Structures are given as C-alpha cells and as structure tokens.
C-alpha cells in the first residue's frame, strides 16, 4: 500500500482533524489524551521520545510507547527528537519535532538547515508512515517561509507552526504571531496546523479564519481546560475527578505526570489554599492525590455557593474572552474576593508572579528549588555569567569531554574509540586495553596448548617404546640351559688367591 501524502493523508488518516492537543513533555500521556478526546480533541501526540534511547533501550520502548497502546487513542502521532537522523520504527504517524527547548534538539537545530533536510528526507525514505514536523518561526516572515518550504521539499507531509520565536519562552513568552502562520500556509502545498494563543473555542475559529490553516493545536489552554474544544468550561473538580478515573482505568501512569496535571487544573485554587498545595506536593500514592483533590473540591464548592461568587459571576459574565486572562472561566471561582477584602488586593496577591532572579543569586530571590540546592551546597553559583563555558564536540555539537583524547563528547568518543580500537581514560573507555588483554590471553592459551600437546606427544612416545620392548621380549627364542662342563672349566681357570 502506497504511503499517503499531504492533504490525502490529512483527510484519510487524520480524518480531517481540526482540534489538536499539542505534544507536551511528560504531560500528553495516554490518560490525558483519552480525557481530551472525550471532550472534543480529534488528534493527539505522544510525549517527546528520544530516538537514540528508544532504539537501544527495550525498557524505554515499553514504558513510553508499547504500554500505551489503546484503540480509542487514534489517530495518534508519535513525536520524536533527534539530531543524528536515527529513526524509531513505528506504526503511527511520525513527527520530527523542531519546537522543543532541549539543547541541540528541536528549535536549537533551527539554523542547521542541511542537517534538518537530511533528517526529514531520511525519515521519509526509510519509514512506511508519513512524516510531520513542528517548528517555531523566525523573526523574519520570508525566512520562516523558506524554512517551511525546505521541510516540505524534504518530505514533510504536514507542518505545525508555533507562532513564537526560539527566544519566546518562560517570562519572555509573549503573544504568538499569526501573520507568520498565514504566510506559511499560503506558501506550502501541504496541510498546516497553527499553534499559539489558543485559550477558548472562539480562538480556534478565529485562528482558522485569519490564517487559513487546516487545524489548530493547543497546549497550555488544554492543560487548564481539557474541555476547551467543546466550547465549555466545566468546574475544575469535574475535570480532575474524570482524569483520575481515566488514570485508574488505564494503568500504569507515572505519578509525577498525574501530580503535574492536578497542579495545572487546581492552579488558581492552590494559590489560596497553600496548605493543600504543600500536601499535594508531598503525597506519594494515587489515592493520596485523589484525597487532596477531593478536599480542594469541597473547599471550592463552599466558595462557589457564597454570595460573593454569584455577584462576581454576574459581573464577569459566562467566561468568554473578555473575562479571561489566559485562563478558562472555570477558574473565576478562585479569583473572587472573600468577605472583608477588596477584589484588586486579592487579584494582586493571586496573579502576582515571582520576581526575576538577580544575577548575584541572593537567597531572597532564588526559587525554592534553587534554595534547596544552595542548602545542600552553600558554594553553588547560579550566576549565568560565571557558569563554565563548555567547548562543543567536533562532530555533534554536544559538550565535549575536558580530557577526551579525541576532543569529542562521550557518545562520539565511544564510536571513534571502538572503530580505531583505542583508549580514552577520561570517558572510561578501554577498547585497546581490552583487545591487548584478550590477545595476551589467547597467546597464553595457545602456548599452554602447545605445552600440553608436547607432553602428550612425549607420553605417547614413551608408551610406544615400552610396548616395543615388551613385544620384543615376548617374541625372542628361549636361551638353552647352561652346560655344567663349561662352568667347571671357567672355574678351574680362575686363579686361587694366595
């Protein structure tokens, strides 16, 4: 059967999917994908898989893909990261991600067009499933268009464009630029998905109208409201309880994934109920997480039934974009002022972000995680300017070993040392030493074998000589009996002593 391409692939395999859940590291696992599909999502991605680890580690394959096989979870795209062109054999659609923030993966390969073209072309030639790509944009629209056309020419059958640049992340995330997405859509002849600024179903419709894309992808919006594509904002506890029910029906699910999803769903509530935030972070069982979620539900229902909530709901409306600041309306419950407080004060307390860390890394401005690291190591320095600068490997660009004899990273050094039968003490590689030891052992065994053969040959010769003597003694005629007269003559000739 011929591999489907372009719009035919989008229509037949992906069933003209318009509502797409974005690939998210440790967040788009099977349980979350099934929950999203229940509430309108038409296409999902697996979490990002590391191609090299996937190929060499059977446990990694089983835990990250084969344990998550489910007929309800279709269509599904397998998301992969690589910088060498190494491929994963897969029965699903294959996505080469160019949007992730991992060093020398994804978006950090954005300027290495020759390598990217080789990776996509190789994947398109070797795999029996279509290849899709996900990219971020450049500052210049023209360069972004050329970038997309290069990937299309290399064999990409569907392109997702995240309308943010490589530097738009963390505190600098900002607003995605749909103009770049619209320009890419007009310039290529393959289906295009848009990603960025999607918080409501109305955003989806507006994005499709303004850019002309075939589908729209959501990440943060989906994490806060899995029912986004249904156009509704159910109470947060309903989504949390339904998610936990899906997790129990489709084990195993890593506990850290479940905890992260609950922190996202209950984000605004946890800003108020700090005691339950600490408890949610400490529990170590699925039942414990469910118990904390139930306590949060009870507290929120009390708040929801208060007169303050009803008055605020009348003021804010039903939760459209006007009453939203990057969150769905179901979170309005947790922004409302309590008795005796002013709304502006609560809003300032709840929505205030932590100040950016100073370059000197003083204890007052460090995050909790860094403060823990500082308590374990008082001399640890968090200043970016004073961090050691790593020299790149000559072959792959990863940090090279400081004392490597080949000036390479460990992976490249291992390949070169194996090929040339050499040693690299800094990386603990002893191919030459092992080969010499093996040769010495073989020579010793060969010498011992020769000595043993010589010993056996000597024993064989001695045995033959003994048999020859025995045979000669048994075959000679018997001697005649001695003549007594001769003996008397001999005795008479012997002189007598004087």
**Which of 3, 12, 32, 245 lies closest to 125, judged by CA?**
3
Q: Which two tokens stand for residue 316?
A: 């804010």
Dihedral, 107, 27, 333, 269 alpha carbons, nearest 10: -100
Residue with the two structure tokens 């007169």? 307
First and final CA of the chain: distance in angstroms?
Answer: 127
- Separation between Cα atoms, residue 362 and residue 35, nearest integer Å: 42
Q: Which two tokens stand for residue 188?
A: 């290529």
Q: Which two tokens stand for residue 332?
A: 């309005």
- Separation between Cα atoms, residue 398 and residue 408, nearest integer Å: 8
Residues 45 and 22: beta-carbon distance below 8 Å: yes
Residues 372 and 363: beta-carbon distance below 8 Å: no
Question: SS3 for 348?
Answer: helix
- Catalytic-labelled residue, pool 99, 133, 207, 409: 99
**Omega cis (within 30) before 252:** yes
99 is catalytic: yes
Sign of CA dihedral 408, 409, 412, 414: positive
State the catalytic residues: 99
């Amino acid at each position: 059967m011929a591999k489907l391409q372009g719009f035919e692939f989008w229509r037949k395999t992906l069933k003209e999917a318009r509502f797409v859940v974005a690939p998210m590291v440790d967040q788009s696992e099977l349980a979350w994908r099934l929950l999203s599909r229940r509430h309108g999502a038409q296409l999902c991605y697996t979490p990002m898989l590391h191609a090299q680890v996937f190929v060499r580690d059977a446990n990694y394959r089983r835990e990250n893909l084969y344990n998550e096989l489910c007929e309800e979870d279709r269509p599904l795209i397998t998301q992969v990261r690589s910088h060498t062109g190494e491929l994963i054999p897969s029965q699903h659609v294959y996505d080469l991600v160019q949007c992730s923030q991992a060093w020398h993966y994804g978006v950090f390969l954005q300027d290495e067009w020759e390598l990217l073209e080789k990776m996509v072309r190789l994947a398109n030639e070797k795999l029996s499933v279509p290849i899709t790509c996900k990219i971020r944009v450049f500052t210049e629209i023209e360069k972004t268009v050329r970038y997309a056309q290069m990937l299309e020419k290399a064999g990409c059958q569907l392109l997702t464009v995240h309308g943010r640049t490589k530097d738009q992340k963390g505190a600098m995330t900002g607003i995605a630029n749909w103009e770049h997405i619209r320009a890419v859509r007009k310039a290529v002849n393959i289906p295009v998905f848009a990603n960025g600024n999607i918080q409501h179903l109305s955003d989806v419709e507006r994005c499709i109208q303004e850019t002309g894309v075939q589908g729209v992808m959501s990440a943060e919006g989906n994490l806060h409201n899995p029912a986004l594509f249904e156009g509704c904002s159910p109470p947060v506890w309903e989504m949390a309880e339904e998610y936990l029910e899906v997790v129990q029906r489709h084990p195993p699910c890593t506990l850290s994934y479940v905890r992260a999803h609950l922190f996202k769903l209950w984000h605004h509530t946890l800003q108020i109920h700090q005691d339950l935030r600490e408890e949610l972070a400490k529990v170590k069982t699925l039942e414990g997480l469910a118990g904390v979620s139930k306590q949060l539900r009870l507290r929120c229902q009390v708040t929801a039934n208060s007169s303050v909530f009803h008055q605020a709901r009348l003021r804010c409306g039903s939760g459209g974009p006007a009453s939203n600041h990057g969150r769905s309306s179901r979170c309005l419950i947790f922004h409302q002022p309590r008795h005796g407080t002013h709304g502006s004060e609560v809003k300032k307390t709840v929505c205030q972000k932590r100040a950016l860390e100073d370059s000197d890394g003083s204890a007052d401005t460090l995050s909790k995680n860094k403060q823990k690291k500082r308590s374990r190591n008082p001399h640890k320095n968090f200043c970016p300017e004073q961090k050691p600068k790593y020299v790149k490997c000559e072959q792959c660009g990863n940090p090279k070993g400081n004392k490597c004899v080949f000036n390479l990273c460990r992976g490249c050094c291992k390949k070169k040392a194996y090929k040339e039968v050499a040693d690299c003490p800094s990386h603990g590689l002893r191919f030459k030493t092992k080969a010499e030891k093996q040769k010495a052992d073989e020579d010793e065994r060969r010498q011992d074998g020769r000595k043993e053969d010589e010993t056996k040959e000597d024993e064989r010769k001695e045995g033959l000589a003994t048999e020859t003597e025995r045979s000669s003694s048994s075959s000679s005629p018997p001697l005649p009996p001695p003549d007594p007269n001769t003996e008397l003559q001999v005795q008479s000739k012997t002189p007598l002593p004087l």
